[in-house]
Structure 1
Amino acid sequence: MVRLLSGSDIEAVVSMGDVIPAVERVFGEYAEGRVVMPPKMYLDISGYGDFRAMPAYLPSANTAGLKWVNVHPGNREHGLPTVMATILINDPKTGKVLSVMDGTYITDMRTGAAGGIAAKYLATDVSTVGLIGSGRQAWAQMLAYHSLFKDRIQQVKIYSRHIEHSEALAARIEKYMGYDSIACKTGKDAADAGLVATVTPARSPILQPDWVLPGTHINAIGADAPGKQELYTELTLKARVFVDSVEQASHSGEVNIPWSQGLMNEQKLAGTLGEVVAGKKQGRLRDEITVFDSTGLSIQDLAVAHLAYERAIEAGRGVEFTF
């Protein structure tokens, strides 16, 4: 039998507090060479967006599978999320399909968790959080920061192209997390923080070098496809940059533009987040600017999907069917 899981099924059995340790564990396994993860494949739909196929095998969880995910920047006009996904998980020994599940909630949560884990290892001052962007991922980042740094956060600053979106997120954060939250009129105001997350679909840089003070940690989340960039190249080049995957980041991460221009290469990277988690590389060294370039790894999705599958069986959630 195959278990079909909706987004509400998954949300009922998996919280950010569950997702963070699952993602942190597979980051470490990736650095130690204990996972199989081919690079994601892109299918461009000109004028609309793109699809991505993301396979992985996690021996430690005895699971393999695939995420099929889209990114369509214009979806807000259609009342749909920018990012939607479906995840398929299989028994790696036989290939038997175990579950087909919604992957949209999992994508949001594992991406937020990655930002939280990066901040755990690379940020020093999380008392003020700056968000550049106000969509679903901005909320997911805050869920992770709240889970990890609950009593250390004092204020959240939010900038969006539409002030009403910033105000709505600020109200939501104040209501559910209790933090003093401010809708900022400029990106510069929001960037005045010890922990900054850029969570936009921008293809032109937003975060300027003179906005960011030494000691700041930046989670660069939005640039996840070729040609996308949220940080000005000058800012990226003067920071210590950690990536989730060197191969993915080089062609579709925050560093892809300076990389294509010959200004960035693997030797200029500080390492991967997984190497920091596994103790192979040191995180923050001094009062510097650090950047985590998050492209999103299929091992993150599979780790959370496998957990959701097991929890759903225990809770009796989902629908069983045969093909």
Structure 2
Amino acid sequence: HPDASSLGIVGAGVQAYTQLEAISEVRDIEEVVVSDLDDARVAAFIDAFEDRFDVREGSISEAGHCDVLSTVTPVRDPIVGPDDVGEHTHINGMGADAEGKHEIADEILQNAKLVIDDYAQCTHSGEINVPWSQGILDDDDIYGEIGEIIVGDKAGRTTEDGVTVFDSTGLAIQDVAAAHVVYEHAEAEGNGTSFDLLGLA
């Protein structure tokens, strides 16, 4: 949602920090609810952001009823169930990065507008890999790839959408593109040190 102001995060590790930093760059996030079994991690997360956001600890369901939910855990059995999300929550499934990992209940994935970053990667090791391998999800359940939305071939989230899910495995091309932007910025600002990495100079 363009007017999203609340972010729930399940998992308070390193990825939780980058999720909040990134999402707050593109949405006016005011309220943050973080859920994790490790109280020390939750306390550290709150301490890091309480000067910039209304951030508090909450249950998975409280996090899931925010406008946006990011899941960043390594679990193999879903911890976010259908009753844990709002009617129009957008979910970023970030934690599943290997075969067998699975954070979000199949019922949510089946009923959501499901967007993936890469077909081969997501069906093998993304959030959808387990229900995909079991035949619970198939091609008809996937709305499209994020690239199709970015270039305008498919519409993104609309006001009619209920729950939406983005299954992100992370793509090397995204890393290269981000590195290029950083490099160009550093070069323009005169930052960093040039060196001959490949010994070609």
Query: TM-score, normalized by length of structure 1?
Result: 0.58
Q: Residue deviations 1:41-97, cap 9 Å, x none?
A: xxxxxxxxxxxxxxxxxxxxxxxxxxxxxxxxxxxxxxxxxxxxxxxxxxxxxxxxx
Letter of the 1:148 partner, please give it: V
- CA–CA distance in structure 2, aligned partners of residues 275 and 209 of structure 1: 27
Contact 1:124 1:194 in 2 (8 A): no
> Residue 129 of structure 1 aligns to which amino acid in structure 2?
L
Q: Do the aligned partners of 1:156 and 1:181 also contact (CA within 8 Å) in 2?
A: yes
- Are 2:130 and 1:252 aligned? no
Asked whether the equivalents of residues 214 and 287 of structure 1 are also in contact (C-alpha less than 8 Å), the reply is: no
User: Does the 8 Å contact 2:95/2:103 carry over to 1?
Assistant: yes
Q: CA RMSD in A?
A: 1.7
Aligned length: 196
**Higher normalized strand content (fraction of residues):** 1
Deviation at residue 282 of structure 1 after TM alignment: 1.4
- After TM superposition, list the pairs within 5 Å mapping 1:246-285 onto structure 2: 246-285=119-158
Aligned pair partner of 2:12 in 134, 147, 150: 134
Are 1:288 and 2:162 counterparts?
yes
Please give the TM-score of this superposition, normalised by the length of structure 2: 0.90
Specify the code of the residue in structure 2 equivalent to 1:305.
Answer: A
Deviations 1:191-244 (A, max 9, x none): 221110001122221111111121110000110111111101111111110001
State the distance in 2 between where 1:321 and 1:301 align.
21
* Deviation of 1:153 (Å): 2.1
* Alpha carbons 1:244, 1:273 under 8 Å: kept: yes
Q: Choose which of 78, 83, 107 in structure 2 pairs with 1:205.
A: 78
SS in 2 for 1:218: strand
Checking the alignment, whether the CA contact within 8 Å between 2:64 and 2:89 is kept in structure 1 is: no
Deviation at 1:179, TM superposition (A): 1.2
Percent sequence identity is 38
Give the distance between the partners of 1:294 and 1:143, measured in 2 at CA: 17
Q: Give the secondary structure class of the aligned counterpart of 2:97.
A: coil
Partner of 2:46: 170
Taking the aligned partners of 1:125 and 1:207, their CA distance within structure 2 comes to 23
Cα distance between partner residues in 2 of 1:268 and 1:209: 17
Give the aligned residue type for 2:62. Answer: D
Counterpart residue type for residue 193 of structure 2 = G
> Are the equivalent residues in 1 in contact too, given 2:113–2:161 (CA < 8 A)?
no
Summarize the alignment of residues 104-253 of structure 1 with structure 2, pairs less than 5 Å apart.
123-149=1-27, 152-175=28-51, 178-184=52-58, 186-253=59-126
Name the residue aligned to 1:87: none
Relative to 1, partners in 2 of residues 1:316 and 1:163: Cα closer, same or farther, differing over 3 Å? closer
Secondary structure in 2 aligned to 1:167?
Answer: helix
Q: Map 1:29-68; keep pairs closer than 5 Å.
A: none
Tell me if the contact between 1:194 and 1:215 (Cα under 8 Å) persists in the aligned partners.
Answer: yes
1:307 deviation in Å?
2.4
Q: Distance in 2 between matches of 1:125 and 1:307?
A: 27
User: Which is worse superposed, 127-136 or 288-297?
Assistant: 127-136
Are the equivalent residues in 2 in contact too, given 1:203–1:230 (CA < 8 A)? yes
1:121-173 CA-to-partner distances (Å, cap 9, x unmatched) read xx355221100011111111111122112xx3221000011122112212211
Could you tell me whether the CA contact under 8 Å between 2:17 and 2:45 is conserved in 1? yes
Q: Structure 2, unaligned stretches of length 5 or more? A: none
Higher relative contact order (CA 8 A, sep 6+): 1
